[in-house]
Amino acid sequence: MAEPSNLKDEAKRSLIFTYGTLKRGFHNHTLTQDLISHKDAVYVGDFVTHQPIPLVIGPHGIPYIINDLPGSGHRIKGELYAVTGPGLARLDDLEGIAIGHYERLPIQVVRNLSDDDDVVSAEAYFAHRSFGHALWERNGRESLSEYSEIEGRRLVYKPDHSRSILEDVSLFLAGASDGK
């Protein structure tokens, strides 16, 4: 697998594919910008997944890609960043890796839909395996091809912090109205 030439200088960094709120123009991009300003991340470019992957919306309008559903979904549009170890730790913290909210897993991406010869290996934040397939079912097995401004407007930050995000996921999967 070839790597675009501008990635060679970033060999000591992890390549992270962002598809949701970490992208430019979305709420959590402030973290990405902070990482860039502290030289803990570099924007590599706009990329798309090499294979179709389900992208769904969960509670509070949070986007998730789902692992292990071959042939389902779409090729997802997103952004690729080269991130240092300390930057990766901050991203993992935001994405709730330690509590089982997301899992950082391997993914293959390309610069555009017509360039399948220039595949880049990266990682992305997937819905945790404990609820990923249930999210897919809850969304009627319907996938988005991109987390856009339309979905971004649905993102709500709950004022009530008495429940964890995983409790909200459980309520969402159960169809409870306050899990939104």
Cα–Cα distance for residue pair 48/154, rounded to 1 Å: 23
**What's the angle, vertex CA 143, arms to CA 92 and CA 28, rounded to 5?**
30
Of 79, 95, 103, 151, which residue is the catalytic one? 95
103: annotated active-site residue: no
Using CA atoms, how far residue 61 sits from 1, 9, 132, 136, in Å, is 35, 36, 15, 14
Read off the tokens for 99.
């509590």
**Cβ(124)–Cβ(103) below 8 Å:** no
DSSP-derived 3-state class of residue 70: coil
Read off the tokens for 53.
């992957």
Q: Which amino acid type is present at position 91?
A: L
Tell me the sheet residues that pair with 108: 121
Q: Which residues does the annotation mark as catalytic?
A: 95
